[in-house]
Homo-oligomer: A and B are copies of this chain.
């Protein structure tokens, strides 16, 4: 039971749209690069709550029939990433439970640094845990808070957390977004047909055709319900410190995060690299696709020709049978093949993410 979740996940929330679950499906689809282990959606029509979580990709976890059953005008969704082999449906999100304050669903991207001590302290008070998710901790804290309203209990509970978090909560009447005071992970706000959209990256707003409004600010709590949108900043300000891996590895190049284009940020890294480490070479080429943008930047700055002489096999699947011992150095070949005619007798700069 030591399958602690990794911190690269995708979260999505929407309030005030007749196709809330379908748009969440699309939003998760756009955020698929942030997690391929499991996908889930919880929706609500103000009375009943509807939920489905499944293993694998968004397109595998949902069918037309399941999507149709997820009724209501607000919803939250989650894609989960795990580097360990022990991926389990019980760790899929959104995490949905019944408490004395009504049902709570929660989607989480982040990594709490004090989760073990919080968990152990809760267990001592009689809490029982079924998953290894940080999301389960925040819900226990809310359920046990002596504050009467959900909002007060939420602020009370968030104040106990240390580390990175972007949460999308859902109750019977609201969607609530919360980002940690340091702002480690990205979270943005959009508008769609008069409703509100919350997403880890702007590429999800693009796909559902929502208009980007602004980032959810570090330490900010956004409460969205039929009264409209309401912002709270109950925590003392902290030093802003976003995660650099978001730019160079996690986020999609067509997203803007932390107020900046990921594409241009990666290209900029290429400029810097060319300036800091100039080489005497004939051409520059990326490991596709993640190295493309830095390689382009390197090429622009250095003046070296840009070539795309590694060709990817687009059909790599999870069930591919490795040829094992009888082929030497097989490793990377199945994914990337060099174009010999381009590379022959050339001095080459290869840029990787």
A contact residues vs B (CB 8 Å cutoff): 1, 18-19, 22-23, 25-26, 29-30, 32-33, 36, 49, 57-60, 62-64, 67, 89-90, 96-100, 103-104, 120, 123-130, 139-140, 143-144, 203, 206-209, 252-254, 256, 261, 263-264, 288-289, 292-293, 296, 300, 305-309, 311-315, 317-321, 323, 326-328, 333-334, 337-342
Contacts and interface: CB of A to CB of B under 8 A. Distances in A.
Given A59-B320, A206-B333, A337-B203, A313 B32 contact: yes
A318 B90 CA distance: 26
Contact of A326 (B19, B58, B144, B338): B19
A261 B341 contact: yes
Contact of A36 (B209, B315, B327): B315
Nearest to A333: B207
Given A59-B321, A126-B143, A127-B143, A337 B26 contact: no
B103 A1 contact: yes
A310 to B, nearest CB: 8
Given A57-B315, A89-B89, A315-B36, A29 B128 contact: no
Nearest to A326: B19
Given A100-B123, A321-B25, A327 B209 contact: yes
B36 A253 contact: no
Given A207-B334, A263-B339, A323-B22, A311 B103 contact: no
A73 to B, nearest CB: 13
Given A30-B313, A57-B315, A313-B32, A129 B338 contact: no
